[in-house]
């Protein structure tokens, strides 16, 4: 391939590699890839300064299809690999790609620690509630009772809610989108990418082979108005075909769906994604117990906190200015020495 | 030992082995280190063996809580901390009970008499006071009330209560031993000032205790003589006293300078490797980035990420950590990225003996990964050489785009020796060149970047880092086509890539020195060692020669690949003996590779070989 992205403006073609995607026909991953390749030309990004790091799973093939730098690493470790890269090279745009098994099961530890450290990386979590690459075992986001090859009598595990996990892990940016709405994905990716620090985007993604229709009850075109609750910063949270529903905070501090006509608009939660206290965002993340109830999408939380690599590199700069750039001889003579003649 | 009287009236000794022992809270490691440091500055050759329990603070006064520090100080070149100590300083009954059997018969015991009371005796398991039963009659015993005298001299110091004063008793012991062996006082007094300067009354207390111990030796008639060990006739040069972990850390920082790359350390705390993380974290002014990861896997994975970004990437750990890092090391082998993996070996398996030394990770370093996953393995042989080994590991990693395993151990890590500072200008140039332009032209004349296009000589692949315009590429753990780096499941390509990865490591043999052999090249018996056994093997070989026999000693620094002439070297001797701190791992490799009937000598007791142990085994083989 020849990389010809020298002009300041890029197009979708500049971000598309010569490798043919090899996901199953109809997989939600295709629309996520397209959204990314359409979104990046609008950003102040360059292919040579962009790196996609993935773990293992269907989603993890993503970097091969992007005409950027990329690494398809090992299962679960993408956030850790990306951490090292982002610390060593803070000027790069680092994206992390993985599925629900990759990020929340085998790699759960790395995901939470990357988020709490606030290392500059944009993490896309493709959640299809199933293990696809290994052909259909239940995942840490599968619902209780899920019948799969490894759970013929139904799963007995309580699933993770990815947004709740991220909020609990001190993430500074947490959002959710879905693979049926390219525009929404593009907008969410853009917001996440513009955030300095760790940004987590959960993408509801359909696996049409092993878990087809897992999100259909909320993401099908005719269901979205009544089942997806769009979070808009500074606005009262309303949804429904005629915006007839809203979300309030009840006396226990839990989010609750109400009819606006019953309570009046003034009683609704005004979404504040910049709230330092994550309680309200967490309450919203608990609103739906699964993708069969009205579910919030959009940006749950965006707050500013010092970014890790900037803080770490600042210490290096301070050390350099206080001690001067080191020389090997200074190191060797940093403890008492004596001379033998 | 010679026994002449010097100008100062002190009796001269050629060498002395002192063992400081006390409760974990008594500061014995610090006392030993200070004695060592003063001796180093005085110009002696020396070698140390710190031994401490894995528990931070085992119950006070118990055998489990005994911490000891042994040092051999000499007026000539030595390579070990010595076998049996000549002097034991026992700060409590437990220390006496645990350590007395190590002392040479006729040796000197100095005890802190104040601690030999009912409670402490009971905790140590003594039914009667051993200072009074006569059971120490084979030794020269000195009973010194260290605690009470320390309290007495600190009485007048403002803000120091008697309980706090008691903490300075190790400085009393240090003062006494410093007098007994005529160590200079200034280095210790300077150190106290530097270390405790922020709390002036602690400086006062420690100084007072140290001087009181010194004065006690000088003025009481308990000690007939003091002794002196003259400076050793070491090669001319500037020296410092350094332990293996510090030297290794300096080597990594130096490798960053020599390669002109940022050093990135991804690490997770583990004994006995953590001190490397601590030391590197101090040298941020060199641009060194240290990342304390959430676990061992993240530590190595972050280093792989940093290597992809063009850093000199390092991960440090001990055996259990290497086990966890195996998959990510395999990734680095497949990605063909430079990575230095440092294993400070300790007793295993599992948690094993965290604070005790062993060298039983060699086969894991060689083969402890799934698939055909060869990687170079190198092993330093002395604390000071850890500096050079770190640079050598970085050199190979960068030049051949491969992870390299550096196997040190707890004994090298914590043991110290006077180390002659190298000439900085003589250190190797290990700069590497990133690819910045297309490196392949296709049939139609189009230019491409092929990430797996190789240097025909080293087989190293092209290394282009993110940020380089036009060279965007993707790499991964899936098998890839040679040249283009595109995913390939082609059977013959996998064979070809496996062969290349194997050949690349094997070819490094052309880039390393021939086998290092010392001693009598016409001997019938060859000792083969690797790692920290160098000191004991060298010392034993010397004694064998002094006993009138011929013996040769080969010590391996590069274990994968072996030096090219190793097979030929082994074939020259009738008998090959391989002493190892494991159950025979190098012996297995030598037998498999060279079909040599290696006699394996093994020790896995958490302690290095003693010279006499090896001497006896070798002598038996010779006679």
Do the Cβ atoms of B472 and A109 come within 8 Å?
no
Structure tokens at B569: 């070297």
Interface test with A, best of B302, B327, B470 (most A CBs within 10 A): B302
**Contact yes or no for B420/B239 (Cβ under 8 A):** yes
C-alpha A83/C-alpha B305 separation (Å) is 7
pLDDT of residue B7: 61
Residue A58 located in a structural domain: yes
The ipTM value here is 0.96
The answer to whether the Cβ–Cβ distance between B466 and A322 falls below 8 Å is: no
Both structure tokens of B309: 């970004």
B297 CB near a chain A CB, below 8 Å?
yes
B236 interfaces chain A, CB cutoff of 8 Å: yes
- Where among B229, B252, B267 does a domain terminate? B229
User: Residue A26 sits in a domain of what CATH number?
Assistant: 3.40.50.970
User: Using an 8 Å Cβ cutoff, are A274 and A302 in contact?
Assistant: yes
pLDDT digits (tens, 9 = 90+) for B567-604: 999 999 999 999 999 999 999 999 999 999 999 999 99
DSSP 8-state symbol, B185: S
pLDDT of residue B58: 84
Q: What is the pLDDT of residues A316-327, one digit of tens each?
A: 999 999 999 999
Residues of A in contact with B468 (CB under 8 A): 48
Judging contacts by C-beta atoms under 8 Å, the chain B residues touching residue A324 are 285
pLDDT given at position B6: 61
- What integer is the mean pLDDT of B337-346? 98
Q: What is the distance of C-alpha B302 from the center of its chain?
A: 25
Quick check: B110 pLDDT over 80?
yes
Under 8 Å between Cβ of B341 and B322? yes
Cα B450 from Cα B441, distance rounded (Å): 10
Q: State which residues form the domain around A149.
A: 12-214+306-315
Rounded CA separation B526/B510 (Å): 24
Domains contained in chain A, number: 1
Final residue before a domain boundary, out of B201, B229, B257: B229
Contacts of B7 (CB under 8 A, 6+ apart): none
Look up the CATH number of the domain holding residue B48: 3.40.920.10
- Report yes or no: B284 at the A interface, CB cutoff 8 Å: yes
Lowest mean pLDDT among A254-263, B134-143, B152-161, B584-593: B152-161
Structure tokens at B600: 């394996």
- Both B56 and B139 in a single domain? yes
Residue B63 has pLDDT above 90, yes or no: yes
A67 to chain B nearest CA, in Å? 6
| pLDDT at residue number B618 | 96
Which residue from A92, A337, A341 is facing B240, i.e. has the nearest CB? A337
A175 located within any domain: yes
CB within 8 Å: B298 and A109: yes
Q: What percent of chain B has pLDDT over 90?
A: 92
Domain assignment of residue A162, yes or no: yes
Positions of chain A with pLDDT under 50? 1-2, 4-7
Question: Does the pLDDT at position B323 exceed 80?
Answer: yes
B71 and B87 in a single domain? The answer is yes
Q: Report if residue A65 sits inside a domain.
A: yes
Does residue B237 surpass a pLDDT of 50? yes
| Parallel, antiparallel or unpaired: strands B263-267 and B289-292 | parallel
**What pLDDT, in 10s, does the model give residues A275-298?**
999 999 999 999 999 999 999 999
The answer to the question of residue B135 being in a domain is yes
Residues B410-455 pLDDT 10s? 999 999 999 999 999 999 999 999 999 999 999 999 999 999 999 9
- A22 vs chain B: nearest CA distance in angstroms? 12
Q: Taking a C-beta distance cutoff of 8 angstroms, is the pair B300, B328 a contact?
A: yes
CB within 8 Å: A88 and B237:
no
Asked whether residue B615 is domain-assigned, the answer is yes
Residues in B closer than 8 angstroms to A111, CB to CB, are none
CA angle B397, B398, B401 (to 5 degrees): 70
B301: nearest CB among A2, A84, A331 = A84
Position B55 pLDDT exceeds 60: yes
CB B118 within 8 A of CB B86: no
**Is A67 in Cβ contact with B250 (below 8 Å)?**
no
pLDDT recorded at residue B393 = 98
From the list B235, B293, B474, which residue is nearest A340 (CB)?
A: B235
Residue B2 has pLDDT above 60, yes or no: no
Cβ atoms A13, B481 nearer than 8 A: no
**Closest-CA distance of chain A to residue B311, Å:** 7
A20, A56, A84, A319: best mutation site toward chain B, by most B Cβ within 10 Å? A84
How far apart (Å, rounded) are the C-alpha atoms in residues A162 and A104? 8
- Closest CB to B476: pick one of A71, A86, A332: A71
Same domain assignment for residues B403 and B446: no
pLDDT tier for residue B308 given thresholds of 50, 70 and 90: very high
Report the SS3 class of residue B537: helix
Provide the mean pLDDT of chain B.
Answer: 95
Interchain contact, B466 vs A48, CB within 8 Å: yes
Assign B565 to helix, strand or coil. Answer: coil
User: By the CB < 8 Å criterion, does B545 face chain A?
Assistant: no
Q: Which region holds residue B228: left if phi is over 0, alpha if psi is between -120 and 50, else beta?
A: beta
What pLDDT is stored for residue A44 in this prediction? 87
State the DSSP string of B440-493: EE-TTS-EE--TB-B-TTT-PBP---TT-TT---EEESS-B-TBT--B---HHH
Residue B1 has pLDDT above 80, yes or no: no
DSSP B38-81: HHHHHT-EEEEEEE--SSSSPSTTSGGGEEEEEEEEESS---SS
- Where would I find the H helices in B74-219? 93-99, 118-124, 130-133, 146-154, 162-166, 169-180, 186-196, 200-219
B216 and B75 co-located in one domain? yes
Is A88 part of any domain? yes
Domain, as residue range, for B501? 433-511
Cβ contacts of residue B496 below 8 Å, gap of 6+? Answer: B482
Would you state the structure tokens that stand for residue B231, as one six-digit string?
Answer: 């400076």
Mean pLDDT within B318-324: 98
In a domain? residue A191: yes
| Pair (B131, B10) in one structural domain | yes
Does residue B513 surpass a pLDDT of 60?
yes
B486 contacts in chain A (CB < 8 Å): 19
Interface contact A316-B421, CB threshold 8 A: no
Alpha-carbon distance of B295 to B34, in angstroms, equals: 34
- Please report which confidence band the pLDDT of residue B221 belongs to, taking 50, 70 and 90 as the band edges: confident
Distance of alpha carbon B362 from alpha carbon B531, whole angstroms: 10
Residues B410 and B476 in one domain: no
CATH number at residue B394: 3.40.50.970
CB contact B308 to A (< 8 Å): yes
CA atoms of B170 and B115, how far apart (whole Å): 13
- The CA distance from A225 to A222, in Å, is 7
Residues B144, B164, single domain; the answer is yes
Q: B455 and B573 share a domain?
A: no
Q: Note the pLDDT of residue B8.
A: 62
CA distance B505 to B450: 21
Q: Are residues B50 and B108 in the same domain?
A: yes
CA distance B419 to chain A (A): 10
Answer yes or no: is A247 within a domain.
Answer: no
- Length of chain B, please? 623
Residue in chain B lying closest to A5 (CA): B470
Confidence band of B52 (pLDDT split at 50, 70, 90): confident
Query: pLDDT of B72-102, one tens digit each?
Result: 999 999 999 999 999 999 999 999 999 999 9
Question: How far is B162 from chain A, CA to nearest CA, in Å?
Answer: 33
From chain B, the residues in CB contact with A311 under 8 A are: none
Q: How far apart are CA A88 and CA B289, in angstroms?
A: 8
Measured between alpha carbons, how far is A182 from A38 in angstroms, rounded to an integer?
A: 9
Whose tokens are 């297309």? That residue is: B438
Provide the domain count of chain B: 4
**Pair (B467, B488) in one structural domain:** yes
Contact B477 A323 (CB under 8 A): no
Q: pLDDT tens-digit profile of B468-511?
A: 999 999 999 999 999 999 999 999 999 999 999 999 999 999 99
> How far, in Å, CA of B413 to CA of B124, rounded?
30
**Average pLDDT score over residue span B266-291:** 97
Are residue B564 and residue B494 in the same domain, yes or no?
no
Residue B234 in domain: no
Judge whether A62 lies within some domain.
yes
Q: Is B122 helix (H, G, I), strand (E, B) or coil?
A: helix
In a domain, B355, yes or no: yes
């Amino acid at each position: 391939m020849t990389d010809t992205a020298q002009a300041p403006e890029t197009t979708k073609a500049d971000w598309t590699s010569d490798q043919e995607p090899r996901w199953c026909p109809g997989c939600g991953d295709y629309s996520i890839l397209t959204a990314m390749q359409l979104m990046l030309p609008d950003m102040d990004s360059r292919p040579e300064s962009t790196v996609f790091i993935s773990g293992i799973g269907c989603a993890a093939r993503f970097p091969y299809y992007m005409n950027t730098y990329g690494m398809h690493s090992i299962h679960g470790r993408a956030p850790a690999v990306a951490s090292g890269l982002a610390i060593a090279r803070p000027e790069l745009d680092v994206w992390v790609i993985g599925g629900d098994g990759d990020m929340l099961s085998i790699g759960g530890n790395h995901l939470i620690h990357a988020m709490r450290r606030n290392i500059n990386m944009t993490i896309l979590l493709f959640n299809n509630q199933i293990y696809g690459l290994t052909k259909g075992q239940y995942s840490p986001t599968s619902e209780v009772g899920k019948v799969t090859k490894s759970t013929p009598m139904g799963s007995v595990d309580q699933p993770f809610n990815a947004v709740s996990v991220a909020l609990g892990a001190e993430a500074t940016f947490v959002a959710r989108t879905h693979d049926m709405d390219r525009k929404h994905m593009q907008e969410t990716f853009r917001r996440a990418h513009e955030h300095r620090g760790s940004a987590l985007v959960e993408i509801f993604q359909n696996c049409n082979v092993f878990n087809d229709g897992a999100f259909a009850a909320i993401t099908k075109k005719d269901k979205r108005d009544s089942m997806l609750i769009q979070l808009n910063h500074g606005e009262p949270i309303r949804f429904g075909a005629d915006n007839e529903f809203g979300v309030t905070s009840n006396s226990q501090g839990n989010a609750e769906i109400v009819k606006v006509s019953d309570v009046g608009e003034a009683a609704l939660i005004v979404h504040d994604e910049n709230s330092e206290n994550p309680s309200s965002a967490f309450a919203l993340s608990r609103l739906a117990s699964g993708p069969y109830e009205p579910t919030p999408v959009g940006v749950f939380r965006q707050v500013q906190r010092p970014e890790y690599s900037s803080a770490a590199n600042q210490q290096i700069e301070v050390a350099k200015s206080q001690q001067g750039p080191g020389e090997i001889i200074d190191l060797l003579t940093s403890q008492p020495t004596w001379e033998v003649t | 030992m010679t026994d002449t009287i010097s100008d100062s009236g002190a009796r001269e000794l050629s060498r002395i082995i002192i063992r400081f022992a006390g409760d974990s809270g008594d500061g014995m490691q610090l006392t030993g280190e200070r004695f060592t440091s003063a001796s180093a500055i005085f110009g002696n050759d020396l070698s140390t063996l710190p031994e401490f329990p894995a528990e931070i603070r085992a119950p006070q006064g118990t055998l489990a809580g005994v911490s000891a520090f042994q040092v051999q100080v000499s007026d000539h070149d030595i390579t070990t901390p010595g076998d049996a100590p000549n002097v034991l300083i026992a700060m409590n009954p437990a220390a006496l009970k645990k350590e007395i059997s190590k002392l040479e018969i006729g040796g000197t015991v100095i005890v802190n008499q104040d601690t030999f009371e009912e409670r402490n005796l009971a905790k140590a398991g003594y039914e009667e006071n051993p200072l009074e039963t006569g059971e120490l009659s084979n030794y020269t015993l000195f009973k010194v009330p260290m605690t009470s005298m320390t309290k007495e001299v600190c009485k007048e110091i403002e803000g120091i209560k008697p309980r706090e004063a008691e903490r300075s008793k190790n400085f009393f012991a240090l003062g006494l031993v410093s007098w007994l062996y005529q160590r200079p006082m200034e280095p210790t007094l300077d150190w106290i000032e530097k270390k405790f300067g922020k709390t002036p009354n602690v400086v006062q207390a420690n100084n007072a205790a140290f001087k009181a111990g010194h004065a006690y030796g000088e003025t009481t008639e308990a000690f007939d003589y003091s002794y002196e060990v003259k400076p050793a006739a070491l090669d001319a040069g500037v020296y410092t006293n350094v332990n293996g972990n510090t030297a290794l850390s300096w080597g990594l920082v130096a490798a960053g300078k020599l390669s002109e790359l940022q050093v990135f350390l991804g690490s997770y705390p583990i004994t006995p490797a953590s001190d490397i993380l601590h030391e590197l974290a101090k040298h941020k002014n060199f641009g060194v980035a240290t990342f304390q990861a959430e676990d061992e896997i993240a530590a190595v994975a972050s280093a792989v990420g940093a290597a992809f970004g063009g850093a000199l990437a390092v991960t440090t750990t001990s055996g259990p950590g290497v086990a966890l890092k195996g998959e990510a090391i395999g990734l680095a082998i497949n990605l063909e990225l430079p990575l230095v993996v440092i294993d400070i070996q300790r007793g295993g398996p599992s948690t094993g003996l965290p604070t005790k030394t062993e060298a039983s990770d060699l086969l894991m370093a060689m083969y402890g990964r799934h698939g055909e996953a060869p990687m170079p393995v190198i092993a330093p042989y002395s604390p000071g050489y850890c500096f050079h080994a770190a640079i050598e590991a970085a050199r190979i990693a960068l030049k051949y785009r491969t992870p390299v395993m550096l196997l040190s151990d707890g004994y090298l890590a914590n043991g110290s020796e006077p180390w002659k500072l190298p000439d900085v200008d003589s250190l190797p140039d290990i700069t590497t060149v990133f690819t910045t332009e297309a490196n392949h032209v296709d049939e139609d004349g189009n230019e491409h970047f092929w990430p797996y296009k190789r240097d025909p000589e080293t087989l190293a692949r092209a290394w282009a880092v993110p940020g380089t315009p036009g060279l965007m590429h993707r790499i991964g753990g899936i098998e890839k086509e040679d040249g283009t780096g595109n995913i390939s499941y082609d059977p013959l390509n996998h064979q070809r890539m496996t062969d290349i990865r194997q050949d690349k490591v094997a070819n490094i043999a052309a880039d390393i020195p021939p086998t290092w052999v010392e001693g009598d090249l016409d001997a019938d018996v060859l000792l083969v060692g690797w790692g920290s056994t160098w000191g004991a093997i060298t010392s034993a070989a010397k004694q064998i020669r002094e006993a009138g026999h011929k013996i040769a000693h080969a010590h391996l620094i590069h274990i994968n690949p072996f030096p090219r002439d190793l097979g030929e070297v082994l074939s020259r001797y009738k008998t090959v003996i391989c002493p190892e701190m494991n159950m025979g791992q190098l012996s297995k490799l030598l037998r498999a590779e060279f079909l040599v009937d290696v006699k394996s000598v093994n020790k896995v007791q958490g302690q290095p070989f003693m010279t006499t142990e090896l001497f006896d085994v070798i002598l038996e083989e010779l006679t």
